[in-house]
Structure 1
Amino acid sequence: MTTTSRIAGLAAAAALTVAFAAAPALAYDGTNCKEPGVCWEPKPGYPAKDKIAGSKYDPKHNPKEVNKQSDSIKEMEARNKKRADNFAKTGKFVYDVSKIEN
């Protein structure tokens, strides 16, 4: 490697170091924070909290869709209870719940 290419490499590394060191200075300065780290601000035109219902920003969550996960967790816990009860009774672990006799 020649001296010129080494100097060019060092200069490029120094330039990158300066660029990355200056990057945090370009970040949001937090002038409108409620408290440190809580600096979310809505975009201009986003409605106030009390006016979201019925607007295009209203998520309109279907309660049936929202409850799907909790329902599946309840079903999983019921299957696990059945497996554990069967294991306590027989001493054998059976994964397939349909093979467990009531």
Structure 2
Amino acid sequence: MTKTIRITGAALVGAVALALTAGGALAYDGTKCKAPGNCWEPKPGYPEKVKGSKYDPKHDPKEIAKQAESERAMEARNAKRSEHFKKTGKWVYDVSKI
């Protein structure tokens, strides 16, 4: 046999308020905050300086240059598209058709 429990709106609001206040007590107490609300701490063993450590991402300058080059090419294509649109009023996505 199953029982149906009806919860009123006031009871629901009270339960949510109780859960929020109880949850706040279990949260990080902020003992080493740099500023109010800025309480991030690294895990034990995380180095003070990331550069040169095992956590250093070591980005390759050639790969970063590839991305910058592709962005310049994209901007040039978009400039051609918008110039063509200003002249003709038609938007052509494929730049080779302009």
Q: Per the shorter chain, which TM-score range? A: 0.5 to 0.7
Distance change in 2, residues 1:26/1:67 (3 Å): farther
1:5 CA drift (Å):
6.0
| Corresponding residue of 2:36 | 36
CA distance in 2, matches of 1:77, 1:38: 38
| Corresponding residue of 2:85 | 87
**TM-score normalised to the size of structure 2?**
0.68
User: Where does structure 1 lack aligned partners over 5 or more consecutive residues?
Assistant: none
Task: Output aligned runs, 1:58-77, within 5 Å.
Answer: 58-77=56-75
Higher helix share: 1
CA distance in 1, matches of 2:90, 2:56: 51
CA distance in 2, matches of 1:20, 1:87: 55
Show structure 1 runs of 4+ deviating over 6 A.
none
Structure 1 position 22 matched with structure 2 position 41: no
Distance change in 2, residues 1:67/1:29 (3 Å): farther
Structure 1 position 97 matched with structure 2 position 95: yes
Structure whose alpha-carbon radius of gyration is higher: 1
CA distance in 2, matches of 1:43, 1:62: 27
1:63 CA drift (Å):
2.3
1:73 CA drift (Å):
2.7
Percent of aligned pairs with the same residue? 62
